[in-house]
Amino acid sequence: MLLKAMSVLVGLAMSVAFVGCGDDDNKDEPKPGGETQDVVETVAVDYSVSLGKAYWDYFDISVEYTTPAGEVVVKTITQAWEEKYEVRLAQVVEKYVMKVTATPKADHPEVTDGMYYDMATNIHAEVSGKTKSGKYDPEFGYEGSNTGNWEATSKEMNRRLQQTNLLLDFSYNVVK
């Protein structure tokens, strides 16, 4: 009888021990106070244009872009240009654009046979989403660029001076 009582007590002790070792970190249930996800709160916009000397000497360069206020404006630039800003997700516009064109100047210098002309391009447009913690969300945004380091022959330069040249045509539709 004493043996039966002791085996029952040992059984009870073991069951209490197993219950005490149970996993109480249920990852599927929200914790009290509720943790928030690290979602996009801010949209960062970055535009830049840097061109080789021949572009500035022979072409009028215009940039069409979306401003921080959400307006699309066109401006003529005469040197390297950059526009960076951030807006709260609630103030984001539906579409961001950046279009860069090179229109031959009416009074451009003469093209010299046998010369090489610096036609380097470093044009960049990017819209990206930043989370509350300051990280960039790889699923939000888009990037466009035209980057190259090259020289044009006099023949190529004369050909380019016959038309307007589209250097970048970027657009991104925001999905909130």
Tell me how long the chain is: 176
pLDDT at 32 over 60: no
Could you identify the residue written with the tokens 């090259």? 150
Mean of pLDDT values over 153-165 = 96
What pLDDT, in 10s, does the model give residues 58-90?
Answer: 999 999 999 999 999 999 999 999 999 999 988
> Around Cβ 2, how many Cβ atoms within 10 Å?
6
Q: What is the pLDDT of residue 27?
A: 35
pLDDT band for 26, please (50, 70, 90 cuts): very low
Instruction: Say which DSSP state 78 is in.
Output: S
Handedness of CA 17, 21, 22, 25 (dihedral sign): positive
Q: What is the pLDDT of residue 118?
A: 97
How far is residue 34's CA from residue 52's CA, in Å, rounded to a whole number? 54
% pLDDT > 70, the chain: 79
What pLDDT, in 10s, does the model give residues 93-123?
Answer: 999 999 999 999 999 999 999 999 999 999 9
Three-point CA angle 33, 35, 37, nearest 5°:
155
Among 71, 97, 64, 67, which Cα is nearest to 84's? Answer: 67
pLDDT at 169 over 50: yes
Q: Is 145 left (phi over 0), alpha (psi -120 to 50) or beta?
A: beta
Q: What is the pLDDT of residue 110?
A: 96
pLDDT at 163 over 80: yes
What pLDDT, in 10s, does the model give residues 127-149?
Answer: 999 998 889 888 899 999 999 99
Q: What is the pLDDT of residue 28?
A: 34
Q: What is the pLDDT of residue 158?
A: 96
